[in-house]
Each structure stands twice: as structure tokens, then as C-alpha cells.
Structure 1
Amino acid sequence: MEFEEYASARGQELVRLGFTISGDYQRAEDLAQIALMQAFRSWRKVQRADDPHTYVRRILVNSYLSMTRRRSFTEAPAADLDPDRTVPDPATDIVNSDDLWRALATLSARERVVLVLRYYQDLDDRTIADLLGIKPSSVRSVASRALASLRKARQSHRVDERLP
């Protein structure tokens, strides 16, 4: 598969992943663009990977995590997001709950990424561990802590009942 075909076929999926992780449509577009730009620079290497899409998703996730480590990074509260700029996707009805976004915003970047990859992207622990460069047991630990935080938020703020 040539790069142009890949970008055309998977570009919007990368934007949706970026939006789900960051909660910001403009940041999601930036993350997808960064991931595609880096993939283009080393496309031969990406093509040789066992799963090129996993390789590009890892670039996107690592870019987001790197972005959150910068001092200038600030996350906009869900109330400040422009609802007309969301990515059209059937799953947005589930994850677009304002309370859920607020609860997710309280998590660390790593916790949020693990939950998004596990529940939105439906990836297994081993794949998530490979994407993040950690052990599968660490993925389970991070997910467990994140879910406990969300449950606590649900109890104290009556967050959406669809939380696992």
C-alpha cells in the first residue's frame, strides 16, 4: 500500500483517535497530521512493520503523550469545546457526555490513553503495551487506577452510568 492510499483510508480514523484521546478537535487534527507526517518520512520502514496501522497509531499516541509533558500544554474543559466541530461518528453519542468528558479530563494522560485504546479502539492489553512501550501488567494497573478514579468521580458527581 502506498502512503497516499494509507492516508486516504485511515486519516479520519486517526483524527477520531486523536479526538478521543485529547478531547479537542483541533488538537486531534494536529496529532493526525503529525503522525502522518512522521509516517511519510519513514514510509518504507512503516510498510515493513507487522501492522503499519499500529505503527502509525503509536506515533500518534506518543505525540500526544509528548505534547502533554510540555509546560505549554493545557487541556480545555469540555464546556469550552465547540460542539459543532466534533468528528461525526456514531460512537460520539456515547463518549460525548459532558460529565464523562469532565471525568476523563481529571485522569493523567497515560490513564486516558490506556482507557481510550482499550474501550474505544478495542485493543487488547498486549497491543496497548506495545504501543506505549510498557508491560501488559502495567496496562492493567493503569486501567484499574483510571477506572477507580472514574468510579469515584461517578459517585461524587453522578457521572454517566455507562462507565465500565
Structure 2
Amino acid sequence: MQPRHTSDDTRRAREFEAYVAGAGGRLLHTATLLTAEAHGDNPRARRLLTLALARTYACWDRLHGEDPYDHTRQHLATRFARGAWHHHGGLLRSRSRPAGPLAALTPQERLVLVIRLYEGVDGEQTAALLGLPVERVRTVFNRAMANVLRPAPRPAPPVGGVKAVPS
């Protein structure tokens, strides 16, 4: 007969593995959108997700009916925000040049946009999750949407091989 804690550990590990098998892909996509890395080349997103999943696993027995996906998403978002904040002296800017579809957005804009649109969390819950006023979340979301829907125009290529003369 196995000791009780061994069977509990085995059950816990199986439950967590099943959770990761079901939710891991979506959570990795969320992390990739946050870091604005390319889909196939996303080491920061993978590290971010690994740390969030480790935190969820550590709390697994204490979730008591709480949705583990919400728990992991919360840690993913707060770790991303904290990392962007601490690495840049209080400015929420990206350390490296992202290359993904949301690369033109600031990390804060990406965070709000991904949580609101991709994850489907409403403005009040997003504000509570990020510790921001609801109006600030609304402003950041609207600015992010404007930047995604109407990106800054690129300079026109020279016409007929004539190069523009700097003024």
C-alpha cells in the first residue's frame, strides 16, 4: 500500500498535466501576444508562461474551486507587467525589438488589448487585475485599438528612382 501523500501527489500531478494539456496552447499564444514575439520564436513568452504555470502548480491544492486558467492568466499578466515595469525604470516599454503582430504597441497597450480582446475580460475586471483605474484601462484600450486598426503610415518609396533630398 502506498503512503497517502504519494497518491495525492500523483493525482495532483495528473490533474495539473491535464490542465496544461488543455490550456497550455492558448496560454502560450497569450504570452506570445504579450511579448510580441514571432509565433515560432518566442523564448520570452515560453519563460513567462513557465513561471506562471509554476505559480499555479504551487497553489494547485489551494485553488478550492477557483478556475486555474484565470489564476494562471492573472500571474501571466502581472508577471509581464512587473517585468516590463522593473526593467525599464518605471516605464512600461519593451526591452527588445518585438517582431509579432502587436509589435507597434507599447507593452501596456499590448497587455490591455490582449486581456480585453483575446482573453475576453471586461474593462472593470482588467482594471482590477492590473491595479489601474477603469478609465485608464479604457483609454489605453482605445489607443491600442486605434494603433492596430490605423497604423502609422510608412514613408512612400521614391518615385522613378529619384531619391528625396533632405531639407
Question: Is the TM-score greater than 0.5?
Answer: yes
8 A Cα contact 1:36 1:56, kept in partner:
yes
Corresponding residue for 2:79?
A: 63
2:44 maps to what in 1?
A: 27
Partner of 1:45: 62
Cα deviation, residue 16, structure 1 = 0.7
Aligned length: 133
Go from structure 1 to structure 2 and tell me whether the alpha carbon gap of 1:4 and 1:136 turns closer, same or farther (over 3 Å shift).
same
Question: Hey, what's the Cα distance between the residues in 2 that align with 1:75 and 1:146?
Answer: 19
Any idea what SS the aligned residue of 2:153 has?
A: helix
Contiguous gaps of at least 5 residues in structure 1: 79-95, 159-164
Distance 1:155 1:105, change over 3 A: closer
Structure 2 gap segments, 5+ residues each: 1-11, 89-93, 156-167
Specify the code of the residue in structure 1 equivalent to 2:51.
I
- The 5 Å alignment of 1:81-92 reads none
Computed over aligned residues only, the root mean square deviation of the Cα atoms, in angstroms, reads 2.6
How far apart in 2 are the matches of 1:157 and 1:107? 16
Q: From the superposition, tell whether residues 77 and 35 of structure 1 become closer, same or farther in structure 2 (CA, over 3 Å).
A: closer
Of Structure 1 and Structure 2, the greater helix share is in 1
Deviates more, 1:142-151 or 1:12-21: 142-151
Shift of 1:34: 0.6
Structure-2 change in CA distance of 1:137 and 1:77 (3 Å):
closer
Match of 1:75 among 96, 101, 106: 96
* % same residue: 29
Structure with the greater alpha carbon radius of gyration: 2
Distance in 1, Cα, partners of 2:31 & 2:64: 22
Distance 1:124 1:71 in 2: 28
